[in-house]
Amino acid sequence: MLVIIILVVPAALTGIAAAEPDYSIAYTVTVGDDGTALWHVEYRTLLLTDTDVTDFEAYAGDLPEIYLPRFRELMEHSAAQAAVATGRHMEITGVTGDTVIQESPTGRYGVVVYTALWDGFTRLDTTVTIGDAFTGGLYLEKDNMLVIRYPEGYTVARAEPEPDDSRDGLAWYGPRSFGAGEPRVVLEQPAFPLFPAAAGLVLVMAAVVAGGALSRRRRKNTPEPPDPSPLTTVEQISLDDRIVQLLGSQGGEMFQSEIVRMTGLPRSTVSTVLNGLHSRGMIIKVKKGRENLIRLSPGTPPDAER
């Protein structure tokens, strides 16, 4: 897909590139927490002569009627292919294009910027997964760059292949080839929201201290509850079925805390059932920070015989 988009600008500026192939392309994909991605494609070429400037200005004049519609068509075609491959609804909106001549200490540059909003670009679940829309793989030429930026409050659980830089988003530099579905990035949110104001944090800490003191006073007069009775064989089988069916209805994976919340069962009971399913190879436990991500093992249908 990126190879196609690359051709939108250089093909129109062949005269400039031929004079001096000093150009670069930067792709910045800013991902939202709603599945959207704002694409920002910037082409920068060195304008060495007055003829280069004239050619660039001619390109800028043709951009609204010729080159911007081509860019829109290419983005829509890429989104349509990705929608078929992923099964998600995708749509391209907010397509814009602009040009400017910039003066810098290193010379005079012609800059072309295309933008487009891609709805449905990422897969939303308990995590945000980026990459499955890159159905045909990508290729970055020399001096080109791809940057993926993600929403504030998210952390990168996995990035494949490893980025070359991560200071201002995840960055990969050309020349580089990516396989189908790459780069693949998995984002996670913190288990608990962060309080932006120090006063809020003070109040929370005060509540924790007060709650702990009250709890200690209550424990002096209240006997500890007994350990829950072990599950009978019939109860174990029933809960096995219930949790496996719940996992199947949620795409095959859930965090353990979500299973507790959705079933309404005690945490200790859910833990016991999951340990049994894990020992029989019916689920896989993946440690994610302080939580366990529970996945159905391959070949375990939600209505399998137990």
pLDDT, tens digit only, all 306 positions of the chain: 444 344 444 444 434 434 444 678 999 999 998 999 999 999 999 999 999 999 999 999 999 999 999 999 999 999 999 999 889 999 999 999 999 999 988 889 999 999 999 999 998 888 899 999 998 778 888 889 999 999 888 999 999 999 999 888 999 999 999 988 899 999 998 765 444 444 444 434 444 444 554 445 544 454 444 444 555 665 666 788 888 888 888 888 899 998 988 888 888 888 888 988 888 888 999 888 778 899 988 877 665 444
The three-point CA angle 115-160-250 to 5° equals 85
Domain with CATH 1.10.10.10 in the chain: 233-296
Just give the CATH number of 233-296.
1.10.10.10
CA 97 to CA 95: how far, in whole Å? 7
Query: Which class is 2-188 in CATH?
Result: mainly beta
Which among 227, 228, 226, 264 has a CA at the least distance from the CA of 243?
264
CA 175 to CA 218: how far, in whole Å? 66
Q: Which residues contact 213 (CB under 8 A, 6 or more apart)?
A: none
Domain with CATH 2.60.40 in the chain: 2-188
pLDDT score for 12 = 41
CA 173 to CA 164: how far, in whole Å? 7
Q: Which residues contact 110 (CB under 8 A, 6 or more apart)?
A: 13, 16, 44, 45, 47, 52, 53, 56, 59, 99, 100, 101, 102
pLDDT score for 191 = 60
Which among 275, 276, 257 has a CA at the least distance from the CA of 267?
257
